[in-house]
Structures are given as structure tokens and as C-alpha cells.
Amino acid sequence: LSHGGPTSQATPTFNPAIQFWTSRGISVVDVNYGGSSGYGRDYRRRLNGNWGIVDIDDCVNAAKYLVAQGLADGDRLAIRGGSAGGYTTLGALAFRPGVFKAGASYYGVGDLEVLARDTHKFESRYLDSLVGPYPAEKALYASRSPINSVDKIASALILFQGLDDKVVPPNQSQMMFDAVKAKGLPVAYLPFPGEGHGFRAAAAIKRSLEAELYFYGQVLGFKPADALEAVAIENLPVD
């Protein structure tokens, strides 16, 4: 699990969204990757100019460590996150292929250039410190955008998106869905009308979590005990 922000932090407090997974037998590592707040200024500054590198490496290395310790199944690893965590999720699939079998992106960023041009005014220059000044570093933005490395993705992907999102516009998820679908990989996309950046309605939260669990079950080969509503998965192999 990669948190949003990206300079926010994961805290060791009760979180019902994590309890949803652990109560169903799924282990969770909530990663405070380099750049997270709460560990001092130097740790926070690890992400300056390195978003899309440090965060991804830390999440990948956390997963690999747990596998090496016998605490996780290396053949059934998944990565998930929302907003900036969605970008880390997409980046892990695109830039570190072969580690995760599946990913779930909640209103995540697939194209940094589009984000730099389209996001809301409050965060309009946020990426200057995280990636580099735009458009001067246009090539860097392109190289760090998962949408431009879809050819490397070899994992299943599910995307969730609020259609009223002004921070990460819906075209970000749509572009990733179209590209992964065209490649023939298992992929699903669930848009939510009336939801913005971060789902608020209980029905949307419930539907997204249940759909994500169903998706993992189909892709990773287990049957959830819950009576879940199915989600349409494109390119899912049929026995």
C-alpha cells in the first residue's frame, strides 16, 4: 500500500480500509517510502526530484523483503494506492515489471505531463519540486509517466476513478485503461459519477473495495468468502 500526498504518511492506527483486507487473510504493508512526512526534513527531501523513483523502489523493496522473510507469497503480490499512491502503483507495474501480479489504482496519475497541465490551481506547481520544472523538464516528465511504458507492464490492473475529480482528471484513468486493454492484459475500470478526489459516499467505498477484492480473487486464484458483486474484467483468461 502506497499512501497519497505523495509527501503524506502512513500511521500505525486503526484503519478500517486496511482491516477490510487483513480480516480476509490478506497481509498488508503500509509503506512510508522516502519522501513521507514524520521522519525529519532530510527524509522528506528524498523525494525532491525523485518522485517515481524513490517511492517505487521503497515499495518494491518492502515487498521483496517480506517475501525473503517468508511473510508474503512472491507469486501473489499486489500493490495498491490512491492519488499519488496510484501513480506509485502504476509506476511499479510499468517500471519494475515482474514484482507484482496485480495493481489497483484509485484516481492515480498515469501521465505526469497531463497532470502538470490540467490539475487544479492549488497544486499547479507542486510537481516542480517532485519531478522538475515544467515544461523545461518535459522529457523527464515523459520518461516518468507510466502511460509511456505500458509496453513493459505484465500485470493485471484495476482502476477506480471519480468522474468529478478536479485534482487528477478522469482522463488519466481512462488512458491507462485503454492502453492496458489494448495490450491484452486483464484490466477493469470503474468510474464513479458524483465522486471527486477521494471517495466520500459509503456506497462508492463499499463497491470499490468489494470490486477490488473480487478482482484479486479472479487474478490471483482465490475465492473470497464474501458474496461479492462481480466486476467486468477485460481480457481475463477463461478456463
pLDDT at residue 165 above 60? yes
**What's the structural domain count of the chain?**
1
Kindly report, residue by residue over 43-98, the tens digit of the pLDDT. Answer: 999 999 999 999 999 999 999 999 999 999 999 999 999 999 999 999 999 999 99
∠ CA(4), CA(67), CA(208), 5° rounding?
40
* Model pLDDT, residue 3: 96
Reported confidence tier of residue 238, pLDDT bands at 50, 70, 90: low
Q: With the C-alpha atoms ordered 132, 174, 35, 95, is the resulting torsion angle positive or negative?
A: negative
Q: What is the pTM of this model?
A: 0.94
Residue 27 has a CB neighbour count (10 Å cut-off) of: 11
For the segment 200-216, the average pLDDT, to the nearest whole number, is: 95
Domain coverage including residue 21: 16-220
The CATH number for 199's domain is 3.40.50.1820
For the segment 198-211, the average pLDDT, to the nearest whole number, is: 94
77-81, 82-86, 168-172, 205-209: lowest mean pLDDT where?
A: 168-172
For residue 9, being part of any structural domain is answered with no
* Model pLDDT, residue 206: 94
Kindly report, residue by residue over 98-133, the tens digit of the pLDDT. Answer: 999 999 999 999 999 988 886 655 555 778 889 999
For residue 6, being part of any structural domain is answered with no
For residue 5, being part of any structural domain is answered with no
For residue 137, being part of any structural domain is answered with yes
